[in-house]
């Protein structure tokens, strides 16, 4: 075996190893990005009543799409501009404002119903607007992840192809994890079947805590 053949074998093995390592890195990134979407999905499952199969799929699908779209936007922005720091500086604050807004509204509505003399469990109806806002709030940090793609894939060929493969993996991972979270939330919400307002208040508190966690996580390394 000539030195050229040995080099070719080593080169092929190295490329395969790098491909596997990249897939693993992308998958772990998808899991990390999906944590907040999972928690919000649990909350949605708790507070939204009588979800049809279509609406139940819309929630995790929305989170999956946003988690996939944001990184590819960030990738193409960083592709054209070498240094962008403004998103990294404000993304967590935008997420906090959006989640506090939705969570605060849920707490207000739930408390108002709880204070009423003849409390009737009026189920919270599915709101596509709220779900879209949640999708934006839980995926803004994914925009910054897209900025890292140009660095992450600089040693491989077809960088744009890898970027699209990455967002596909991230989107599918988020969808599946969010779907699981929604199912868990529906089961938990059944415990509050006669007290819909209680579930709404608890869900609002959870959303606000998620917003706070996102902000704290931007400055301090958290174990979750």
Give the Cβ contact number of residue 40 at 10 Å.
28
Give the Cα separation of 74 and 28 in Å (integer). 18
- Cβ-contact 40, 132 below 8 angstroms: no
Which residues partner with 124 through β-bridges?
A: 48
Give the Cα separation of 71 and 144 in Å (integer). 7
Length of the chain: 224
- Cβ-contact 66, 139 below 8 angstroms: yes
pTM (predicted TM-score): 0.71
pLDDT (tens digit per residue) in 128-184: 999 999 999 888 878 877 777 766 666 556 777 878 888 999 999 999 999 999 999
Ranges in the chain, pLDDT < 50: 7, 9, 12, 14, 17, 83, 117, 121
Sign of dihedral through CA atoms 86, 89, 95, 100?
Answer: negative
What is the token pair recorded at 200?
């709404």
Give the Cα separation of 200 and 192 in Å (integer). 9
* DSSP notation for the chain: --HHHHHHHHHHHHHHHHHHHHHHHHHHHHHHHHHHHHHHHHHHHHHB-S--HHHHHHHHHHHHHHHHHHHHHHHHHHHH-S---HHHHHHHHHHHHHHHHHHHHHHHHHHHHHHSSS----PBPP-HHHHHHHHHHTTHHHHHHHHTHHHHTTTSS-HHHHHHHHHHHHHHHHHHHHHHHHHHHHHHHGGGTT-HHHHHHHHHHHHHHHHHHHHHHHHS----
The predicted pLDDT at position 137 comes to 87
- Cβ-contact 106, 134 below 8 angstroms: no
- Cβ-contact 81, 109 below 8 angstroms: no
């Amino acid at each position: 075996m000539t030195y050229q053949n040995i080099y070719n074998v080593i080169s092929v093995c190295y490329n395969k190893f790098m491909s596997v390592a990249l897939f693993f890195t992308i998958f772990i990134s998808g899991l990390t990005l999906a944590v907040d979407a999972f928690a919000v999905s649990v909350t949605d499952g708790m507070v939204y009543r009588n979800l049809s199969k279509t609406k139940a799929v819309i929630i995790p699908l929305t989170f999956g799409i946003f988690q996939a779209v944001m990184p590819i936007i960030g990738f193409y922005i960083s592709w054209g501009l070498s240094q962008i720091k403004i998103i990294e500086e404000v993304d967590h604050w935008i997420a906090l404002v959006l989640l506090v807004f939705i969570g605060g509204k849920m707490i207000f509505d739930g408390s108002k119903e709880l204070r009423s003399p003849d409390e009737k469990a009026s189920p919270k109806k599915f709101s596509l607007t709220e779900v879209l806002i949640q999708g934006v709030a839980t995926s803004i940090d994914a925009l910054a992840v897209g900025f890292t793609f140009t660095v992450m894939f600089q040693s491989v060929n077809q960088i744009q192809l890898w970027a699209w493969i990455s967002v596909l993996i991230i989107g599918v991972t988020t969808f599946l994890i969010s779907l699981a979270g929604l199912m868990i939330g529906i089961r938990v919400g059944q415990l509050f079947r006669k007290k819909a307002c209680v579930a709404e208040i608890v869900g609002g508190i959870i959303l606000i805590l998620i917003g706070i966690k996102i902000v704290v996580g931007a400055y301090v390394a958290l174990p979750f």
